[in-house]
Structure 1
């Protein structure tokens, strides 16, 4: 009996060891403890608690010191193997592709933009268009103001861009423009014969072990460049580590040190009229490189809407990657400066078992706030309902709900297809769907080739006649909330998105 117990315990130890080994090698990054790399576990725990107290909507983070992951966390239903939209962090991958092309002598940053697209030039070539160089695109100083905002209906974006008036001398004024980055992507495609996504595969993604990524394209088949990249948190951290290591990875120099310096140097100031004192407090005014922001504490970062970050801290030999749906990007960044940076030491720290265990416990139980509560008396309510609704802008013709104690299945019949989602009662249930999320309602966004999409569902009863369901599209930071009110067979469905809280109402009736 004792021998059996001993064998079982040994098996459990080996099992736990193998699980841990798999966890530490699945993304190719080494792991260590915070104290081993000179960072108190208590400081990281304080950071995580502050994130939640301020309700900053962070989905994940990964902190590296001396090239090793010392803390990482995903707020359920997010998880390590899920892709997450990078928004404008995509731009930094595009400028990295420029670095490879420059190193291969396919182009220089001084090359004139118009030379790459003679077939799309307007009838009149203005002096400013003649002067416009790739470097001006890389530094958000292309001279167009306001920045263009093309839609799919505008046809070829390269042609539209070259026809848009340039009102400032190129290189003189910072005006943020995602379509400037699209032009860089189009230039790279013209000289390499490949999309930026394909061009980076053997040069960046394969050496860094970055796999299964997606990038939106225009209707012309050009990677959008300035937005639309979908990849994992670890992938963001790897790009930051590559820049921290001055272009070297696993002993091989992928990009020249000179390019890393050039890309991260200040080439233009975003708000040149601010005083030095004002700039010192503003992470958005300390200078801009090649789609890279300089920030406080001698750090630099890739930066995307709603709080997507790759923060590189050379003085501390540290990298932090963050994904989020943050309502306050400045507060999100400040928490890194306030809680983590001051605690970093240049030596190994004594083990702090209590703090380390508290941090591990916290990181293992992270979860997004509940979108809504279920009324206690309705916790176990079951029903099946089928509804037809009036014509609407979302193209929904019918919807059905099949509610059990633990799950609710939502079936949407649209003009084009039937889609099914499973939502958990008091918990998220992950799945996949071919249905486009609200992100793709924008006329600038092209979903072709990106599905199926990862999605998570949650439901709860608001009252006896009102069911609430939340669909969270995990790869692109958008969500839909269905509030279904049934009044003796007449139904009102209020459909809101995270970008439109007012939403629309769908009216209809129950099919008996």
Structure 2
């Protein structure tokens, strides 16, 4: 596998790769660290020599971690179920809750990014015209999300929306009485042995549920192994099994004809079912249940329309050909 990786690097098929770690059955298959220019939430870090202890932006992989936390909180009876109406849980905006076009919104529509509200994230993330950036700049991020113009009925179509995940983060924080980092540390990170992480916050001090998490690659891999083990770690159940099943049930089709569950992508690669968390720049967490395989990738191809090529090449051309 190492030879295949070296060949792919020399051939320029893995441009922007910062790190990859992979395990099968809990045993290491591959570990590689490179060097390259990096950023954290758009702030330049210069050229970084990556290693096992280097924290890296997870970007929108954070959304999938937020979904795990939502399932834990749901199991604890602290957040509303997917079928429950959404707006009653945002009582500071009664005018929006009274809008008939918005009363149909449920928590499930936020989980599946199918709110039916106007939301554009297909612009660079350094532009205030990008809806996620506009949300961060707004005086009230939740009002900004919920008052977006209604463009279609909810639940009809998947449309990428970091605002949907921000709403989930608010429900977790309100229900648990803890910030996302606090609840995440107590319920997920500490039990997994994840001691080094950052969860970046906006100007209002609210940790970003959509893109704020920074992890080292091996800890990202642990999260994938937790999903692979259906929520159990070292004999202890961390995430309810019924939530893992619900979270990974295909519900809507993405713009590229993949499938989407609750904040996780469901793809097919080389005839293998792949559960994936994805983030801007080429951040990936791949879980292949039929192969007992987990792969964590970090990369620096931020805002590149072809950013998907490097992690997919790692999976298709380097790792899977070596699996028997």
Partner of residue 122, structure 1: 95
SS at 1:102 equivalent: helix
Asked if 1:330 is matched to 2:305, the reply is no
Asked if 1:342 is matched to 2:321, the reply is yes
Partner Cα separation in structure 1 for residue 34 and residue 202 of structure 2: 32
Structure 2 gaps of 5+ residues are: 36-48, 121-130
Q: Deviation at 1:151?
A: 4.8
Task: Determine which of 76, 79, 84 is the counterpart of 2:56.
Answer: 84
Partner of residue 298, structure 1: 273
Asked if 1:102 is matched to 2:61, the reply is no
Asked if 1:270 is matched to 2:260, the reply is no
Q: Is the 8 A contact 2:231 2:239 kept in 1?
A: yes
Q: Deviation at 1:153?
A: 4.0
Partner Cα separation in structure 2 for residue 48 and residue 57 of structure 1: 14
Superposition misfits of 4+ residues, deviation over 4 angstroms: none
Please, which moves more after superposition, 67-76 or 224-233?
Answer: 67-76
SS at 2:281 equivalent: coil
Partner of residue 58, structure 1: 17
Partner of residue 315, structure 1: 290
Partner Cα separation in structure 1 for residue 273 and residue 136 of structure 2: 40
Query: Structure 1 residues 164, 98: CA separation in 2 closer, same or farther (over 3 Å shift)?
Result: same
Q: Deviation at 1:299?
A: 1.0
Q: How many residues are matched?
A: 291
Query: Structure 1 residues 118, 52: CA separation in 2 closer, same or farther (over 3 Å shift)?
Result: farther
Partner Cα separation in structure 2 for residue 93 and residue 152 of structure 1: 20
Within a 5 Å distance, the mapping from 1:413-424 to structure 2 comes to none
Any idea what the Cα deviations from partners look like across 1:315-354, whole Å, max 9, x if unmatched? 1110000000135333223321233213212xxxxxxxxx
Query: Structure 1 residues 152, 313: CA separation in 2 closer, same or farther (over 3 Å shift)?
Result: closer
Q: Deviation at 1:235?
A: 1.1
Partner of residue 3, structure 2: 45
Any idea what the Cα deviations from partners look like across 1:106-156, whole Å, max 9, x if unmatched? 221122221111112336732331111111111110111234342554201
SS at 1:180 equivalent: helix
Partner Cα separation in structure 2 for residue 171 and residue 123 of structure 1: 18
Partner Cα separation in structure 2 for residue 324 and residue 153 of structure 1: 27
Partner of residue 418, structure 1: none
Q: Deviation at 1:52?
A: 4.3
The structure, 1 or 2, with the larger RCO (C-alpha pairs under 8 Å, 6+ apart) is 2
Partner Cα separation in structure 2 for residue 44 and residue 100 of structure 1: 37
Partner of residue 128, structure 2: none
Any idea what the Cα deviations from partners look like across 1:269-320, whole Å, max 9, x if unmatched? 114xxxxxxxxxxxx4220011111111211100000100000011111000
Partner of residue 179, structure 2: 195
Query: Structure 1 residues 221, 56: CA separation in 2 closer, same or farther (over 3 Å shift)?
Result: same
- Higher strand proportion, which one? 1
Using the size of structure 2 for normalisation, the TM-score is 0.85
Asked if 1:226 is matched to 2:210, the reply is yes
Partner Cα separation in structure 2 for residue 124 and residue 103 of structure 1: 26
Structure having the higher Rg: 1
Any idea what the Cα deviations from partners look like across 1:79-111, whole Å, max 9, x if unmatched? 111110000000011001110011111221122
Q: Deviation at 1:266?
A: 0.5
Q: Deviation at 1:166?
A: 2.1
Using the size of structure 1 for normalisation, the TM-score is 0.55
Query: Structure 1 residues 176, 323: CA separation in 2 closer, same or farther (over 3 Å shift)?
Result: same
Partner of residue 250, structure 1: 234
